[in-house]
Amino acid sequence: MICFDEALKIVLDSVQPTERIELPLLNALGLVAAEEVESAERIPPFDNSAMDGYAVRAQDTAGASKDRPAELKVILNLPAGKHTDRTVGPGEAIRIMTGAPIPAGADTVVQVELTERLSDGAVKILQEHEKNKNIRMAGEDIFIGQKVLTAGEEITPAKLGLLASIGRANLRVYRRPRVAILATGDELVNPGEPLAPGKIRNSNSYTMIAQTRICGAEPAYLGIARDTKEDVRDHIQDGMSADVILTSGGVSVGDYDYVKDAFQELGVEFRFTKVAIKPGMPTVFGLWRGKLVFGLPGNPVSSMVIFEEFVRPALLKMMGKCKLRRPLIEAVLEGDVKKNPERMHLVRGIVRREADGYRVSTTGPQGSGILLSMDHANGIMMLPKGIQLKKGDRVKVQLITLPEVD
């Protein structure tokens, strides 16, 4: 049996990035760039108006005020998306909309609020304006040759918009890993099916599929394998084309726990079969022809916690991401916690932020089958082995979601 840190290192050291593929830009959201991008265009591409108003010559507004306005002749209306070859001459103005190109001859824009339109096609300018006022210059946001994306960066909505703004339609990224997901056990029935005596609902497949999708990977559901070695082996074999094989249940030492036997028959090379943690001690990890193989415990909480601590970081690393773990904070414990001194405990907690720092309490009973404890938790307390903890102690907490501020 190995410790948590050693197990995580073994998993992450086994990960290889997925191959690089080219995708349409919209399909790249949430993935990691596998190329550097420099802009071949200027943003904005031309000098344009930052206001609705009038494009004029700055010298024609000299000394203008409400009491002594400058009066100019309006020669044209210029909306965004249109261009004109007309030149603004002395004593002239062009009515211009936000985003429209600055016409030749004009060197400033007077916002409409500082003007007064006259009925005879003229406009009064009520304030003097210096050159380049209310003008967005070509290339002031992005210049030609400017680096806008570095390989290894995650594609966020802002990055997506930025790439679109410079005309990129496709992008090379690391492919989403494919994760084959299998539940095992004669006792399992799917939602919507009759719940006969002795049966329980198959919730693990739903949580694992959801957790996989949130990571950005692609789940492939293999169904439920019944408690025979042959059925477990055949179902696992069906998922061997995926990048990661993920099972739940059947990894302990019961008479009908066949997952490890099936893995062994298929040629999986085990890296570890037990971890000194609670929940999740009977976690199995190995490799099959370079693919990652995880055998998660069958209890719903154990399955979710082990996915969070081992599978999620592996999937993120496969996709080329750098931040593999949740944020880790210190919080003051609000009650005593009883724990096995021989194992590290991963305790579901409710974290809140106060003026003097973070505080954390347990979600209540910590049984491995109490799925409500995961639903209520916004953090997981990482409690080391060999230490008994009491109210007021400071503990490390991995944040699942950001806590509210009291």
Q: Which pLDDT band, with edges at 50, 70 and 90, does 254 fall under?
A: low
Mention the CATH class of domain 328-399: mainly beta
CB 37 within 8 A of CB 22: no
CB 28 within 8 A of CB 162: no
Q: Is the dihedral of CA 163, 166, 171, 173 positive or negative?
A: negative
Instruction: Look up the CATH superfamily of 4-17+176-319.
Output: MoaB/Mog-like domain (3.40.980.10)
Query: Does the structure show a pLDDT above 80 at 257?
Result: no
Give the Cα separation of 58 and 87 in Å (integer): 14
pLDDT of residue 16: 95
pLDDT of residue 406: 59
Single-letter residue type at 210:
A
Give the Cα separation of 351 and 359 in Å (integer): 6
Please state the pTM of the whole predicted model.
0.85
pLDDT of residue 183: 94
Q: Is the dihedral of CA 159, 161, 163, 168 positive or negative?
A: positive
- Label residue 250 left, alpha or beta by phi (over 0 means left) and psi (-120 to 50 means alpha): left
Query: Does the structure show a pLDDT above 70 at 405?
Result: no
Give residue limits of the domains in the chain.
Answer: 4-17+176-319, 20-41+146-174, 48-136, 328-399
Identify the CA nearest to 280 among candidates 204, 220, 333, 217: 204
Q: Which pLDDT band, with edges at 50, 70 and 90, does 87 fall under?
A: very high
Per residue in 38-72, pLDDT tens? 999 999 999 999 999 999 999 999 999 999 999 99
Give the Cα separation of 249 and 128 in Å (integer): 77
User: To the nearest whole number, what is the mean pLDDT of the chain?
Assistant: 94
Residue 156: how many other CB atoms lie within 10 Å: 11
Q: Which fold has domain 20-41+146-174?
A: Molybdopterin biosynthesis moea protein, domain 2 (3.90.105)
pLDDT of residue 388: 84
Q: How many residues does the chain have?
A: 406
**Does residue 44 have a cis bond before it (omega within 30 degrees)?**
yes
The alpha carbon torsion through 86, 91, 96, 99 (nearest 10 deg) reads 80
Per residue in 188-245, pLDDT tens? 999 999 999 999 999 999 999 999 999 999 999 999 999 888 999 999 999 999 999 9
The helix (H) or strand (E) run that includes residue 222 is: strand 218-225
Per residue in 331-362, pLDDT tens? 999 999 888 888 999 999 999 999 899 999 99
Give DSSP secondary structure letters for 339-375. Answer: --TTSEEEEEEEEEEETTEEEEEE-S---TT-THHHH
Cβ-based neighbours of 291, under 8 Å, separated by 6 or more: 240, 242, 243, 244, 245
Identify the CA nearest to 39 among candidates 196, 178, 168, 217: 168
CB 47 within 8 A of CB 137: yes
- DSSP 8-state class, residue 275: B
SS3 124: strand
Residue 164: how many other CB atoms lie within 10 Å: 12
According to DSSP, the residues that pair with 269 across neighbouring strands are: 287
CB 352 within 8 A of CB 359: yes
Token digits of residue 21: 């593929």
Query: Does the structure show a pLDDT above 70 at 317?
Result: yes
Per residue in 121-176, pLDDT tens? 999 999 999 999 999 999 999 999 999 999 999 999 999 999 999 999 999 999 99
48-136 domain in CATH 2.170.190.11? yes
SS3 230: helix
